[in-house]
Each structure stands twice: as C-alpha cells, then as structure tokens.
C-alpha cells in the first residue's frame, strides 16, 4: 500500500480546454458534453436522489443519475458528486448513492493493487471454469437475439445509446456467463467497445462480481432468472417495449415471456415467434443446472487438490495452500469460502 500524499501541489497553469459540444454525439447517445455539471448533477440531487434507494433497480424508471460517462471522462469530479450526496442529507437515498460512488473507488483500487484482474479471475479457484464459448450464442447475446426480452432489450439499449442500466448490466452479464457459459472476458470486452462510460475498473469489477470470480463476488450458484428479473424490475414491461419493437404489441408483463402466448395472442400483438422474434436460445432451468454442474466441478477440483496438499495457517490469519492447478502456492486471508458454505450448496 502506498502512503497517502500529504499535499498535492496545483500546477501553475491548468492544461487543456473545455470539451466542445460540436460535433454532437449521435442522437441516440443521451449525454451532451455540456450537461455534466451543474445541470445533471443538480437535477438528480433535487429531483431523484431522495427516491434513489427505492427506484435505483427499476430499469423502466429514470431513477439513477446517469452521470457515469461524465465521471468516467473526468468531466465531473467524484469529489463534487460526494459533496452533492452529503449535502442532500442523510436519508436512505443519498446514503445509497454515496455507496455506489464508493464502489467506483473500490474497483479503481482493486485494479491498481491487483492488476492481474485485467486478464484473469481475481479468485485463483475460479480460473478453470470449463467455458463453452459458443460464437453463435455470443453473437445472439451481443445483438440482442437471445429470445429473452429483458436481455435483448438491454443489449439494444446499449447498442443504441452507449449506456445500460446497472440492473440490466447484471442481468445480461449473468445470462452470458451462467446461462450461456461464455467467458466473462468476452462480455467485458464487448461492453468496453459499446459503453460511453466504459471503464476498465468498474467494468471488470461488475463482470467478475457477476461471474462469481471477483472480490466479494456473488456466489457462483446465484444465477439470475431473466423472466423473474424482468417481472420484478420492469413490472409492466415498459422497458422491454421501448427497446424491442418486435414485441411492443404485447401488453403488460406478459412481454417477458412471449413464448407463452398462443398463436392468436401473437397475431393480435403483431408478431410471430420464430419469425419476428426468436425462440429462447436456451431453456433457463436447464442452463442453470448446467452452470451449477460446471462451476461445481471447479470447486470440487480445487477441493480435492487442497484436501491432499499441505496447508499452513499463519498466526496473522493468512493461509497458504499448495494447489496443483495453480502455478504458485496460493495465499488466502481467512478460511476459503469454498471449503465451507459453497461446497455444501454446490
């Protein structure tokens, strides 16, 4: 850990110029350069931060700040955002928003201190997942053609405007990694190509969290059900209808499961499944079982190696495992979770 600087001298002159408004971004990208501050930040603090805790997960609402591109590109100082959050009071909304800003810092620190995460899993025990990496399925995910409306709507939102809601990022990432068993690094790369806020630290942290390979990651057996997620976070289906015109004629939450509609209902809604909108690319229940088995094997493999190899516990709490599947002896703080809870549930 590097020591904190005692002072940061200001340069005599500040280099650089204001970011010009012209040429404008494509119309689908809703982030004009002049908006960053004070307008967008102020509007968020005045109108939305109080409800942020309650609305931040709803993909159909404008409940988050959408400041990520400005923070990413240095057009809004994170300190200004923190000051705004603190000045907004101590209610749950402001506290929760501050928490998100802290996640941003956290992932920046992870990348700085564990640079290997840019290339491989933070957790050594998760480096041998037997990915399927099917290119045709990856293309379907990338283009929003999986047959799961919440996934496809989100991928199209990103293609159209270079941004995607955080809940939607988690849903599509889980679908790629768990339902399709495609290496999280493929998704990470595609996001970096598409996102206006594409950030090596936050993007990597988000992908590794979802894949169950990162710091404080979601456990591998947490697999999002795209239908349940859609019904919960887009309860009336408005988000799906906005981004998926093919199924825009389906009323209400039924839009999350178009394969359940009868031929007559499809006709009334103006589409035919398999012609205008694809059948689901995988059966989620079966894909879930497959992911559990594949991830579970990784755990079992590491467990069997660990069980036959020496393990030293140092008084400071650091444990050293000799693990044949890893190049070097492997350091761990505390007892690895896969030796306790995860293995029994896998």
Ligand X SMILES: Cc1cc2nc3c(=O)[nH]c(=O)nc-3n(C[C@H](O)[C@H](O)[C@H](O)COP(=O)(O)OP(=O)(O)OC[C@H]3O[C@@H](n4cnc5c(N)ncnc54)[C@H](O)[C@@H]3O)c2cc1C
Q: Which residues bind ligand X (CB under 6 A)?
A: 56, 64-68, 71-72, 100-101, 103-104, 107, 166, 169-170, 173, 191, 195, 197-199, 202-203, 205-207, 210
Spatial CA neighbour of 168 closest among 147, 148, 186: 148
User: Cα dist. 110→51, 136, 186, 205, 207 in Å?
Assistant: 30, 33, 20, 8, 13
Q: Which is nearer to ligand X, 214 or 336 (CB)?
A: 214
Q: How far is the CB of 212 from ligand X (least distance, A)?
A: 13
Residues with a catalytic annotation lie at: 100, 103, 131, 166, 184, 207
Q: Which is nearer to ligand X, 169 or 284 (CB)?
A: 169
Angle between helices 226-233 and 166-174 (to 10 degrees): 170
Q: How far is the CB of 223 from ligand X (least distance, A)?
A: 15
Q: How far is the CB of 128 from ligand X (least distance, A)?
A: 22
Helices (H), 129-271: 135-143, 149-161, 166-174, 184-194, 200-211, 226-233, 238-243, 263-269
Q: How far is the CB of 206 from ligand X (least distance, A)?
A: 2
End-to-end CA distance of the chain: 35
Q: Which is nearer to ligand X, 183 or 276 (CB)?
A: 183
CA distance 194 to 161: 9
Q: Classify strands 330-333 and 311-313 as parallel, antiparallel or unpaired.
A: unpaired
What residue is closest to ligand X based on CB?
A: 206
Q: Which is nearer to ligand X, 31 or 295 (CB)?
A: 31
Structure tokens at 185: 């690094």
């Amino acid at each position: 850990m590097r020591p904190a600087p005692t002072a940061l001298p200001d340069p005599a002159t500040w280099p650089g110029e204001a970011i010009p408004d012209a040429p404008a971004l494509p119309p689908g990208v809703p982030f004009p350069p002049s908006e960053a501050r004070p307008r967008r930040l102020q509007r968020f603090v005045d109108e939305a931060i109080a409800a942020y805790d309650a609305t931040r997960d709803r993909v159909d609402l404008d409940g988050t700040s959408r400041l990520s591109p400005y923070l990413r590109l240095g057009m809004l100082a994170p300190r200004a955002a923190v000051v705004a959050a603190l000045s907004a009071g101590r209610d749950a909304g402001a506290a929760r928003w501050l928490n998100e800003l802290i996640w941003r810092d956290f992932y920046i620190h992870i990348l700085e201190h564990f640079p290997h995460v840019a290339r491989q899993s933070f957790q050594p025990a998760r480096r041998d997942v037997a990915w399927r990496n099917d290119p045709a399925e990856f293309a379907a995910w990338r283009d929003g053609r999986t047959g799961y409306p919440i996934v496809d709507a989100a991928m199209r939102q990103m293609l159209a405007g270079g941004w995607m809601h955080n809940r939607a990022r988690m849903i599509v990432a889980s679908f790629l990694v768990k339902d399709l068993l495609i290496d999280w690094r493929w998704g990470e790369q595609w996001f970096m190509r598409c996102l206006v806020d594409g950030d090596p630290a936050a993007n990597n942290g988000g992908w590794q969290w979802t894949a169950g390979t990162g710091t404080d990651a979601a456990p591998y057996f947490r697999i999002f059900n795209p239908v349940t997620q859609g019904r919960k976070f887009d309860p009336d289906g408005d988000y799906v209808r906005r981004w998926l015109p093919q199924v825009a004629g389906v009323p209400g939450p039924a839009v999350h499961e178009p394969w359940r509609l009868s031929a007559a209902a499809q006709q009334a809604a103006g589409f035919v499944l398999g012609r205008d909108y694809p059948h689901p690319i995988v059966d989620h229940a079966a894909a879930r079982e497959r992911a559990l088995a594949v991830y579970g094997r990784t755990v079992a493999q590491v467990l069997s190696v660990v069980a036959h190899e020496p393990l030293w516990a140092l008084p400071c709490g650091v444990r050293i495992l000799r693990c044949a599947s890893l190049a070097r002896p492997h350091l761990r703080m505390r007892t690895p979770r896969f030796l306790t809870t995860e293995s029994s549930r896998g």
